[in-house]
Amino acid sequence: MQLKMFVLSGAAVALWLVPLTALDKRVGWHKSIQGLSLGAAIACAVSAGNIARQLADEAEIEAIKSRAINADVVDEIAVSAYVSQQQRQQEAEAILNPVEHLERALALHDAEVERSELITQNQLAEPEAERSENGELERAERALQLKAKGWGKAKIILEVWGVSKGGSPKYKAAEAEYKRLVEESA
């Protein structure tokens, strides 16, 4: 491409100057040749200019690319240097003051454990309370339904609470709850 451009440039200059200086203007066919060569010279010069412009644009793009690559490399080196410096600083701190480092780590660990325990307790407590409330409501509903059907107390307690009649504390608690529910509904 460059060779073509140089050849076209040289041809343009040659076609411009040689016929004008070598040929006689007074001779008809000489004059015609001069005109033709001048036209051809203009075409050669414009073509060479276009090629040169294309090459200049390509060279500019290549320069931009190489600048971008250089900037990337410099940035990468700077980042790695910064990170390694931080690592060295942390290692130096750890070596110089291991007790303080250990205490800080333990304190952080304790705080984390406490926080996670609190969160877990809250998470566990909330559904348990909800569950017990829901269970009580369900039992009350079921017991009242059965009572409306005409079931007896002992049978209802056996059905709803799963406790058979007797003097056991479970039966007594179920009986007390049954009574409370019946009184509330009445």
Partner 1 sequence: MRAMYLGNYFVAGCIASSFLGWVASLHPMAFRAIAFLAAATFIIWGLCWLLDFSVSGWLKISVNTLQALLLAGLAASAIGAGVFLCS
Q: Which residues bind partner 1 (CB under 8 A)?
A: 5, 8-9, 12-13, 15-17, 20-21, 25, 31, 34-35, 38-39, 41-42, 45-46, 48-53, 55-56, 59
Q: Which is nearer to partner 1, 35 or 152 (CB)?
A: 35
CB of 87 to partner 1, least distance (A): 47
CB of 92 to partner 1, least distance (A): 53
Q: Which is nearer to partner 1, 50 or 120 (CB)?
A: 50
CA distances from 164 to 31, 137, 173, 181 (A): 134, 21, 12, 19
Helix axes 153-160, 98-149, angle to 10 degrees: 150
Q: Which is nearer to partner 1, 27 or 124 (CB)?
A: 27
CB of 69 to partner 1, least distance (A): 21
Q: Which is nearer to partner 1, 14 or 106 (CB)?
A: 14
Q: Give 160's contacts (C-beta < 8 A, 6+ positions apart).
A: 139, 142, 143, 146, 174, 178
CB of 40 to partner 1, least distance (A): 9
CB 151 within 8 A of CB 159: yes
Q: Is the dihedral angle over the CA atoms 161, 163, 169, 175 positive or is it negative?
A: positive
